[in-house]
Structure 1
Amino acid sequence: MIKSVVTTLCSLVLACATANTLAQTATTSAAKPQPEARAGVLKSVRGDVRLLAPDGSMRTGKSGDVVAPIDRIVTGPDSGASVVLRDGTKLVVGPSSRLDLKEFHFDSTTQDGGMLLSLLQGSARMVTGLIGKTHPDAVRVETPTAVIGIRGTDFIVQADPQP
């Protein structure tokens, strides 16, 4: 009888400890946003700026909004946006532009990462952050007519709309 009570109590203690650990893990995961879910933030917005997600949903961009690792930034005439990525890269997207952030990953511990941007239309200025400074070959910018490999840290690129 005592043996079965002890066995039952041990099982309950083990079940409670497991449930508590699972609850703490879920709470920690929910409270702490995963850095992979964001590539950076919109620091400033002027005029009509929209963010287009891969699923086709579009939202109006405003200062402080999160930019996902795969997002399209669309600016209207007389509009622009400034984005700061997690590695410190700064992007300024000019008026009437479409810029795809096709890929972004960055590990702040090892400072490894990579990014692929595609300027479909308009203009953009880029000041590279840690990825471009430590691994320049891991940063690429595409335009409708060329792929740019990064060898400097500050440049401007322009792409005319396709006829």
Structure 2
Amino acid sequence: MKQILLLCLISITLWSAESVAVLDNLKNEVGIRRGGDVITPSGSGEELYRGDIIFTGSDGALSILFNDGSTVALGNKSVLKIDDYLFEPSRKKYRFDLFLKEGSAIVETGKIGKVSPKSVTFRVPEGTIGVRGTRFFVKVH
């Protein structure tokens, strides 16, 4: 019985860990912190999940393509955390919550920004950017 319960819990955990985005246009030093692990992406198409921290080195850059069509391009020496992301148009549930700890980003919102702009939050160490347009640039020193 314990084995069946453990198998069910593992299945639920794997099912709920749905990818929210993929990496694209990776250049030089790029990494992902997931839990206690640091992952070196093998290339474009690497899946990202809620809670992932994406970082670039001194000569690194990348693009993130979210499931709703939103894109985030990170410049060098950047650290971005995907705090929350939910795109369920059939249930009209949306959340897009990112935190740029350092570096620079160009953000272009996708469907979430169009149908539910109040669901988009982009935070920086000294404040929050309220998104009402579709494209912006931000740099954190």
Q: What is the one-letter code of the residue matched to 1:107?
A: E
Alignment of 1:4-153 (within 5 A): 34=15, 37-53=18-34, 55-61=35-41, 62-110=43-91, 112-153=93-134
Structure 1 residue 112: deviation in Å? 2.8
Which has the larger Rg?
A: 1
Tell me the TM-score normalized by structure 2: 0.85
Any idea what the Cα deviations from partners look like across 1:35-87, whole Å, max 9, x if unmatched?
Answer: 8511110022001100111x221101221100112210100011101010011
- Which aligned runs of 4 or more in structure 1 are off by greater than 6 angstroms? none
Residues 105 and 135 of structure 1: is their aligned pair in 2 closer, same or farther, counting only changes over 3 Å? same
Given that residues 70 and 104 in structure 1 are in contact (C-alpha distance below 8 angstroms), is that contact kept between their aligned partners in structure 2?
Answer: no
Are positions 1:157 and 2:131 aligned together?
A: no
Q: Which residue number corresponds to residue 5 of structure 1?
A: none
Please tell me whether the aligned partners of residues 39 and 67 of structure 1 are also in contact (alpha carbons under 8 angstroms). Answer: yes
Percent identical pairs in the alignment equals: 31
Gaps of 5+ in 1: 1-25
Runs of 5+ unmatched residues, structure 2: 1-7
What is the CA-CA distance between 1:124 and the residue it aligns to? 0.5
CA RMSD of aligned residues (A): 1.8
CA positional deviation for 1:106: 1.0
Matched-pair contact (CA < 8 Å) for 1:126–1:154:
yes
Aligned equivalents of 1:69, 1:124: Cα separation in 2: 18
Tell me how far apart the structure 2 counterparts of residues 124 and 75 of structure 1 sit (CA, whole Å).
11
- TM-score, normalised to structure 1's length? 0.74
Structure with the higher fraction of residues in helix conformation: 1
Give the paired residue count.
129
